[in-house]
Amino acid sequence: MTHPAPSADGARVLADLNALRAIGAYKAGVHRPTFSEAHLASLQWLVARLPEAGLTGAIDGIGNVLSTSAKPGPKLLAGSHLESQNYAGWLDGPLGVIYALEAARVLNNDPAIMGSVEVAAWCDEEGHFGHFLGSRSYAGSVTEADIDAAADRTSGRSMRAALQAAGLAGVARVQCERGRHIGYLEAHIEQGRTLESERLKIGVVTSIVGIWQYRITFSGEQNHAGTTRMDERKDAGLALAQFCVAIDARFPKLCGPRTVWTTGRITLDPGAPSIIPGRAEMLFQIRDADVAVVARLEQALHAMAGEVNGQGRCSVTVDCIRKGTPALMDDRFQQAIEAASASLASGKSLRMPSGAGHDAQVLATIMPAGMLFVPSIGGISHHWTENTADEDIVTGARVFVDTCRRLLASSTAGR
Ligand SMILES: [Zn+2]
């Protein structure tokens, strides 16, 4: 190689991440829910950094930070999110935003590099007001009515009121200009322990799971717990418990190698020990990267409900309340991440699916997308103890910047 490839400045990346950690600091993590003062301050912080990377940017009408470069050549979109879960970690989101900013600073300012990186911070990836409202707005799939209906799951404050308070009411929402970008690249902490346990440094995401969520409702007969004999009962709570056990018996025969399913909140009505519950409800979620697998499991849920209904004691209904499409990451992006890992992380990378949802799955519906993971210490996230070793953060940044460089270069070469 005649000219060394430009590289990430590890100290600058760590300093930026720590600067963001100080905005809404909570113990070792942050409390920066969507549209909180701290969240808005973090967005403004990012906007103020953009000129260093040769970018012009602003906060749009849904709280996304979006930026543009005037440099000729191919453009790569990169980013993540700046809000956090309540009282959560400092890296979930900011890591990907700072890597994107660093890539833009290094590559956009280098005249030897054709093209540029445009930085984005997607609003509300953590779902305080909805599901991926920021990136879905950019992709053109959020209506004004969706915004009218959105409210903060913790405080109940409407999204309209939050936008008004943030000074964003009436500000236009920026939508994707089709064909502008060669694709979207996002980095994130793994939020699991696969990389750590295998002593690897970089996860090359192959796909992002789809999440299907259900409300399963059982109807029986509410009656006196002391005078109703066991054989006469139509106990909706018992039917629910049996259904949970039946799922765990049946799903393993139908699922894929990485399918997961989880029962959420269970409510018994009326839920007093002296009254047989006449109604019971459970929230239930399935995650898998393969639609066919989840469709098979959904069919099983309906079949099992049919069997319960056939017994005539209690009735069951299964309602799907959320259907997230799994997203495949672009193969060229996976290869670029692998090549960068081979050169800067001793090849310690692994192709793996993402069990968590990310904005990249939304962006993948409108352009080629890729994701890379860095190790999470102990696999912990959505908690203020979430952390990644500084050394791994720096390695990830170098691999990220080099991946961007490779993608821009291969895009130019292909023209
Ligand atoms: Zn995240």
**Is residue 4 very low, low, confident or very high in pLDDT (cuts 50, 70, 90)?**
confident
* pLDDT score recorded for residue 325: 80
Specify which residues 404 forms β-bridges with: none
- Token couple for 264: 């959420």
CA of 358 from ligand 1 middle (Å) equals: 6
Ligand 1 center to 359 CA (angstroms): 8
What integer pLDDT is reported at residue 322 of this predicted model? 87
Provide mean pLDDT across the span 329-354: 97
Average pLDDT of the residues in 352-364: 95
Separation of CA 401 and ligand 1 centre (Å): 19
Ligand 1 mean position, distance from CA 394 (Å): 18
Coil, strand, or helix at residue 260? strand
Instruction: State the distance from the centre of ligand 1 to the C-alpha of 93, rounded, in angstroms.
Output: 4
How far is ligand 1, taken at its centre, from the CA of residue 356, in Å? 8
Question: For tokens 């940017």, what's the residue?
Answer: 57
The whole-angstrom separation of Cα 213 and Cα 24 is: 32
Query: What per-residue confidence (pLDDT) applies to 406?
Result: 98
- pLDDT for position 383: 94
Give pLDDT, residue 323.
86
DSSP-derived secondary structure letter, 230: G
CA distance 405 to 415: 16
Give the distance (Å) from ligand 1 centre to CA of residue 227: 52
pLDDT in tens, 74-91: 999 999 999 999 999 999
- 112 C-alpha to ligand 1 centroid (Å): 33
For residue 197, pLDDT over 90 is answered with yes
H helices of 50-149, where? 94-108, 133-138, 144-149
CA of 407 to the centre of ligand 1 (A): 23
Structure tokens at 23: 């905005």
pLDDT the model gives residue 414: 45
> Each residue of 7-42: pLDDT tens digit?
999 999 999 999 999 999 999 999 999 999 999 999
Q: Residue 131: is its pLDDT beyond 90? A: no
The pLDDT tens digits for 300-315 are 999 999 999 999 999 9
Helix (H, G, I), strand (E, B) or coil at 96: helix
Angle at 339 between CA 337 and CA 344, to 5 degrees: 90
- The C-alpha atoms of residue 168 and residue 190 are separated, in whole angstroms, by 32
pLDDT bin (cut points 50, 70, 90) of residue 357 is very high
Are 130 and 357 within 8 A, CB to CB?
A: no
- All residues at 6 or more sequence positions from 220 whose CB lies less than 8 Å from its CB, including other chains: 233, 234, 235, 236, 239, 276, 277, 278, 279, 280, 313, 314, 315
For the segment 199-241, what is each residue's pLDDT rounded down to a tens digit? 999 999 999 998 999 999 999 999 999 999 999 999 999 999 9
Q: How far away, in angstroms, is 1 Cα from ligand 1 center?
A: 36
> How far does residue 212's CA lie from ligand 1's centre (Å)?
19
Give the burial class of 296: count Cβ atoms within 10 A of its Cβ; 0-12 exposed, 13-18 middle, 19 or more buried.
middle
Ligand 1 center from residue 149 Cα (angstroms): 23
Q: Is a pLDDT exceeding 60 seen at residue 257?
A: yes
How many angstroms does the Cα of residue 352 sit away from the middle of ligand 1?
17
Per-residue model confidence (pLDDT) at position 192: 94
Ligand 1 geometric centre to CA of 357 (Å): 8
Q: Which residues contact 143 (CB under 8 A, 6 or more apart)?
A: none
Question: d(Cα 205, Cα 373) in Å, to the nearest integer?
Answer: 7
pLDDT one-digit tens code per residue, 25-34: 999 999 999 9
Verify cis geometry, omega within 30 degrees of 0, for the bond prior to 270.
yes
The predicted-structure confidence for 271-282, as pLDDT tens digits, reads as follows: 999 999 999 999
Q: How far does residue 188's CA lie from ligand 1's centre (Å)?
A: 7
Q: Which two tokens stand for residue 140?
A: 């053109």
Encoded amino acid at 338, one letter: E
How far does residue 247's CA lie from ligand 1's centre (Å)? 30
pLDDT attached to residue 324: 82
Instruction: With a cut of 80, say whether residue 2 has pLDDT above it.
Output: no
* Residue 154 CA, ligand 1 centroid: distance in Å: 18
Give the mean model confidence (pLDDT) for residues 250-255. Answer: 97
Q: Which pair of tokens denotes residue 68? A: 């543009």
The CA 270 to ligand 1 mean position distance, Å, reads 37
Instruction: Indicate the average pLDDT of the chain.
Output: 96
Residue (of 73, 78, 68, 83) closest to 99 by Cα position: 78
Distance 81 CA to ligand 1 centre (A): 7
Distance 337 CA to ligand 1 centre (A): 19
CB under 8 Å to 319, separation ≥6 — which residues? Answer: 214, 215, 216, 217
- Ligand 1 centroid–CA 41 distance in Å is 18
Dist. CA 213 → ligand 1 center (Å): 20
Average pLDDT of the segment spanning 118-135: 96
Determine the distance separating the centroid of ligand 1 and the alpha carbon of 29, expressed in angstroms: 14
Per-residue pLDDT, 415: 47
pLDDT (average), residues 147-161: 97
CA of 410 to the centre of ligand 1 (A): 28
Q: Which letter does DSSP use for residue 282 in this model?
A: E
CA of 123 to the centre of ligand 1 (A): 11
**Which amino acid belongs to residue 103?**
A
